[in-house]
Amino acid sequence: MSYQALYRVWRPQRFADIVGQEMITRTLKNAIVTGQTSHAYLFAGPRGTGKTSAAKIFAKAINCPNQKDGEPCNECAICKAITAGTLNDVIEIDAASNNGVEEIRNIRDKAKYAPTEATYKIYIIDEVHMLSTGAFNALLKTLEEPPANVVFILATTEPYKIPATIISRTQRFDFKRITPQDSYQRMAYILKEKGIDFDQEALKMVAKASEGGMRDALSILDQVLSFSDNKLTMTNVLDVTGDLSQTQIDTLMGTIQANDTAQALTQLHQILADGKDEQRLLEDLIDYCRNLLVYQQAPQVIAETELTNVSDGFKKLSQTFPAARLYRMIDILDDVQQQLRFTNHPDIYLEVLMIKLSAAQNSTESKVHLDSTTAAEPAAAAPDAMVSKLEDQVKALSQQVQQLSKGTSSKPKRQNRATTSTPHKVKVNKAAIYPILDSATRQALNRFKEVWPDLMNMLSITKRAVMNVSRPVAANEHGVIVAFDYQLFFERVMNDQDLLDELKAGLNKLLGDPPEIVLVPHEDWPVIRKEYLQTDRLKSANGQSGAPAAENEAEKVPKGTKKALELFGKDIVEVHED
């Protein structure tokens, strides 16, 4: 026979053994004693609170011939048979595996037959929330008026999944989470029975880690015992549950309080390397923040009701942590806890969390803190509290000052970035345009215009989309001026060195030499040309360069031709003398 888990060995066999559910067990016992049992019960509650156990005990108690005060004797043949699960009249059904209408019909049909050995025929339908809708509805009529001597007990962890029509036909019992104190008592009892020594603090830790489930508590206990040679010490427990030790969490919160992000990250890595559980870490932190808050208001409550003991580090932190910051931290922690459930990168989430928690608080936060303290002032009558609050205020203010001085050093950097990242008007490179215009020829322009579509085809689609709104407007042998229809695209291309290089390379391929490319927005082009012409005229007026040949020639041609040349340019106009 292999080893049996503690929770199976120590499954409650009497109502008195079920811990933390006195209300329910007393009601059931009374019902049995007075013979006022219902024909259908619904046991709902979180995992490990005793639903299935209670159902089995109820089956025994109602059938046991020697029942006393509603408790089964656990000695008669019937009790033993039910415990072993061999009695034909107590039928335990796993609704998760038998969730169809067929199975329910089966139950309905067999329920008609009278019990064979026991007085009552008991159907225990476990995990009943998994029944299909059809199955639930098939059960309705039987549940409302079952044959005599038949009792249905439905057990579930998720009562909200059960149709209202089912719930209204049953007596509903809501099982509570088991308090740490109760599960502590029960485990201490079991350990005593087994003759195992235990460390009280360690057992308290197990009770806390079980989160209200007795089975969880016993599973953890089992694991600790099996891993540690039947000794129960704090380190063993922390190894199994993945909780942080008191000192670990004290120091971690200390570094967070001191806004020491680097240190907080190192500690986080240390904690994770120790194999601590991410969810647990978050829960521990939330718990700790909550305890700090409670301790700030009512120190005696923590010592009295909680299973934790108050360490020195905790006391120190409770004095230095402003309440507003704790509230904010709990909010952040809660957020991350929700997100952690669906991620494959919990460690990275935690790193971000540490940065958020320990990052220097901004000024709005300390303002909030000030507001909250002033709001709370009328309530605080004790002068001591007033003094400490004032101290807090001073601290917060001095922090603010510090941050302000810190802030100034980082500000210029940010502004810098803003200027570079926000698109501003890109200057047209006039110095590059004028030389091209100086020697611009229609032939050169035509040459570029010819290859332009080919160039566009050489670009990738996205780039082509950008360049589609562009066209060459002037060119000489070594350079081309490209105008863009829209300012936006102009700026975009100006900033994109990749694209410019690509254009250059493309033109090089098509024309044989890498030309200079100058970009201008189309709307600015006429202005630039005008400016150029003016400066050019100025130059010629100064007599620094010889007047352009075109003008000299134009003097000789007749007026009409001159006008035509002016309008269309001399490359297009052919003058035929006749």
Partner 1 sequence: MALIIEQLQPKLVAQFAQIITKQHLAQGYLFAGPAGSGKYELAQWLAMSQFCHHLEQGRPCGQCSECRRIQQGNHPDVIQIKPDNQTIKVESIRYLKSELYKSGMEGNRRVFIVTDAEKMSVNASNSLLKFLEEPASDALIVLTTTAKSQILPTILSRMQIIDFRGLSKQTVYQNFLTQGSAPENAQLAALLTQDYQQAKAWQESAAFNQLLTAVVKWLLKIFKHDDEAFIYVQTLIMAATKTTEDQQLALSMIINFYDFLLQVRYDKKEIMNTSLQQLFEAAQHETVEELADQLNLVLDMSRQLRMNVGFENFLEALTLRLLK
Could you write out the DSSP letters of every residue in 245-294? Answer: PHHHHHHHHHHHHTT-HHHHHHHHHHHHHTT--HHHHHHHHHHHHHHHHH
Q: Which of 232, 251, 242 is nearest to 211 (CA)?
A: 242
Which lies closer to partner 1 via its Cβ, residue 139 or residue 354? 354
Which lies closer to partner 1 via its Cβ, residue 229 or residue 312? 229
How deeply is 268 buried, as exposed, middle or buried, from its count of CB atoms within 10 A (0-12, 13-18, 19+)? buried
Residue 133 CB, nearest approach to partner 1 (Å): 14
Question: 121-126 and 90-94 as β-strands: parallel, antiparallel, unpaired?
Answer: parallel
Which lies closer to partner 1 via its Cβ, residue 343 or residue 535? 343
Report the interface residues with partner 1, using CB under 8 A. 1-5, 8, 46-48, 94, 96-97, 99, 126-127, 130, 157, 213, 215-216, 219, 222-223, 225-227, 229, 242, 261-262, 265-266, 269, 272-277, 279, 339-345, 347-349, 351-352, 355-356, 359, 410, 413-414, 416-417, 421, 460, 462, 496
Q: How many angstroms separate the CA atoms of 245 and 274, rounded? A: 11
> In 152-277, where does DSSP find H-type helix?
164-167, 180-194, 200-209, 214-227, 234-241, 246-257, 261-273
Residue 352 CB, nearest approach to partner 1 (Å): 5
Residue 218 CB, nearest approach to partner 1 (Å): 9
The Cβ of residue 498 has, within 10 Å, a number of other Cβ atoms equal to 9
Which lies closer to partner 1 via its Cβ, residue 181 or residue 230? 230
Residue 509 CB, nearest approach to partner 1 (Å): 22
Residue 349 CB, nearest approach to partner 1 (Å): 6
Residue 494 CB, nearest approach to partner 1 (Å): 13
Q: How many angstroms separate the CA atoms of 101 and 135, rounded? A: 4
Residue 353 CB, nearest approach to partner 1 (Å): 9
The Cβ of residue 578 has, within 10 Å, a number of other Cβ atoms equal to 2
Residue 563 CB, nearest approach to partner 1 (Å): 48
Which lies closer to partner 1 via its Cβ, residue 341 or residue 424? 341
3-state secondary structure 362-394: CHHHHHHHHHHHHHHHHHCCCHHHHHHHHHHHH
Which lies closer to partner 1 via its Cβ, residue 222 or residue 365? 222
Phi–psi pair at 319, nearest 5 degrees:
-85, -30
Which lies closer to partner 1 via its Cβ, residue 67 or residue 99? 99
Terminal alpha carbon distance of the chain:
125
Which lies closer to partner 1 via its Cβ, residue 75 or residue 347? 347
86 secondary structure, DSSP code: -
Q: How many angstroms separate the CA atoms of 340 and 226, rounded? A: 30
Residue 351 CB, nearest approach to partner 1 (Å): 6
Q: How many angstroms separate the CA atoms of 92 and 72, rounded? A: 19
- The answer to whether 228 touches 221, Cβ cutoff 8 Å, is no
Residue 300 CB, nearest approach to partner 1 (Å): 33
Residue 289 CB, nearest approach to partner 1 (Å): 20
Which lies closer to partner 1 via its Cβ, residue 189 or residue 227? 227
Which lies closer to partner 1 via its Cβ, residue 45 or residue 70? 45
Residue 266 CB, nearest approach to partner 1 (Å): 8
The Cβ of residue 546 has, within 10 Å, a number of other Cβ atoms equal to 8
Which lies closer to partner 1 via its Cβ, residue 201 or residue 260? 260
Which lies closer to partner 1 via its Cβ, residue 16 or residue 360? 360
Which lies closer to partner 1 via its Cβ, residue 20 or residue 48? 48
- The answer to whether 175 touches 51, Cβ cutoff 8 Å, is yes
Could you write out the DSSP letters of every residue in 286-328? Answer: HHHHHHHHHHHH-HHHHHHHSS----HHHHHHHHHS-HHHHHH
CA distances from 234 to 227, 271, 505 (A): 13, 16, 72
Which lies closer to partner 1 via its Cβ, residue 347 or residue 553? 347
State whether residue 454 is helix, strand or coil. helix
Q: How many angstroms separate the CA atoms of 126 and 215, rounded? A: 16
Residue 4 CB, nearest approach to partner 1 (Å): 8
Phi–psi pair at 441, nearest 5 degrees:
-130, 155
Residue 402 CB, nearest approach to partner 1 (Å): 17
Tokens 């009374």 correspond to 30
How deeply is 403 buried, as exposed, middle or buried, from its count of CB atoms within 10 A (0-12, 13-18, 19+)? middle
